[in-house]
Amino acid sequence: MTTEAKAGSTIWETIKTVFWALVIAGIFRTILFQPFWIPSGSMKDTLLIGDFLFVNKFAYGYSYASCPTVRIARLGIDVDAKDICGFLDGDNTRLMGGEPERGDIIVFRHPVNGTDFIKRVVGLPGDKIQVTKGVLQVNGEAVITEEAGVFEETFAAQGPLQRRPRCENGAVGKGASCTKSRFRETLPSGRGYHTLNITTQRSDNTGVYSVPEGHYFFMGDNRDNSTDSRFPQAVGGVEFVPYENLIGRADRVIFSSAGRSMLYFWTWRGNRFFKGLE
């Protein structure tokens, strides 16, 4: 075989290897697990900015939203899940569908703008949900809420978006301690998790939301810093999320980076490797 032929064969083998690697990665991401990096503080202290996790996509079965959305603005790449699997959209059903449980942490496709959100489902189809004086009410009954100390973090720009946290202890300077009250919230099923409080605001007292059939009501654990189903008319508000828009369940943090990039391994948080989520 000539040198030119060997070079051509090597290039072709490389192309085939890359092609099949992309196919396998696509199947893995579509059917099994989807990587997700937490960009905001709406789920503190359960999830921190910079947490990296894999979302279990077979927990609730598959719909059009199970197909990957790939957006890389600097490369001009904008491939939406509907571009690939739009033929499955519209009937609000799922293949091998499973039902979420109240309290699950779920990544879902925003019903309006198509971006991926992660929140906790607190309202199931047919539920009546309300927040009164900052306390979640499920079907007319207040969930058990107990004080659970203080959540403390450093006031500084966080993550790639360089967002600064809101603090219950007022305006503090860079590098100072930023605190929030922490509570233990227990659902009627007995499932419990932490929520945070920053201040008294409009979202602490809502009307009654009647969750339609085939839809779910979501809230962030960082209750005063989460745009969720309590704000259906707000810019970025979530409204009720259709069953087919669920992508998967978050069960465990794989690792966590306190820096601007998950590649900055020296900023990884040593206490969050493979941390299970409540």
Per-residue pLDDT, 76:
80
Q: Which of 44, 57, 119, 180 is catalytic?
A: 119
**Confidence band of 18 (pLDDT split at 50, 70, 90):** low
What are the residue ranges spanned by the domains of the chain?
Answer: 3-276
* Helix H or strand E segment including 116: strand 116-123
The alpha carbon of 90 is separated from its chain's Cα centroid by a whole number of angstroms, namely 23
Alpha-carbon torsion (60, 28, 264, 81), positive or negative? negative
7-43: b or e for each residue (b if 16 or more CB lie within 10 Å)? eeeeeeeeeeeeeeeeeeeeeebbeeebebebbbbbb
Q: How does the average pLDDT of the chain come out, rounded? A: 87
The backbone torsions φ and ψ at residue 116, rounded to the nearest 5 degrees and listed phi first, read -85, 130
Q: Look at 232 and 102; give whichever has higher pLDDT.
A: 102
Which residues, listed in sequence order, are joined to residue 51 by a DSSP beta bridge? 256
Residue 235 has pLDDT above 90, yes or no: no
pLDDT for 79 equals 80
Q: What is the mean pLDDT of residues 40-52?
A: 96
Stronger pLDDT, 95 or 128, i.e. the higher one: 128
Question: Residue 41 contacts by C-beta under 8 Å, 6 or more apart in sequence?
Answer: 48, 49, 158, 163, 165, 222, 225
What three-state secondary structure class fits 132? Answer: strand
DSSP reduced 3-state for 175: coil
Let me know if 42 is a catalytic residue.
yes
> Residue 40 above 70 pLDDT?
yes
Of all helices (H) and strands (E), which one includes residue 83?
Answer: helix 81-85
For 84, the enclosing helix (H) or strand (E) is helix 81-85
Query: Between 113 and 230, whose confidence is greater?
Result: 230
- Map residue 125 onto helix, strand or coil: coil
Architecture of domain 3-276: Ribbon (2.10)
Choose between 167 and 74: higher pLDDT: 167
Look at residue 261 and give its three-state secondary structure: coil
Q: Judge whether 210 counts as a catalytic residue.
A: no
Which of 42, 66, 226, 229 is catalytic? The answer is: 42
| Cα separation, 7 vs 175, whole angstroms | 56
- For the segment 70-104, what is each residue's pLDDT rounded down to a tens digit? 777 787 878 888 877 878 777 898 988 899 999 99
Asked if the bond preceding 45 is cis, omega within 30° of 0, the reply is: yes
Please determine, for residue 59, whether its predicted confidence score (pLDDT) is greater than 70.
Answer: yes
Cα–Cα distance for residue pair 125/215, rounded to 1 Å? 6
Confidence category of residue 30, pLDDT binned at 50, 70, 90: low
pLDDT tens sequence across 173-218: 999 999 999 999 999 999 999 999 999 999 999 999 999 999 999 9
Mean of pLDDT values over 25-30: 51
Q: What is the pLDDT of residue 84?
A: 78
Q: Where residue 50 falls among pLDDT bands split at 50, 70, 90? A: very high
Q: Which residue has the higher pLDDT, 237 or 221?
A: 221
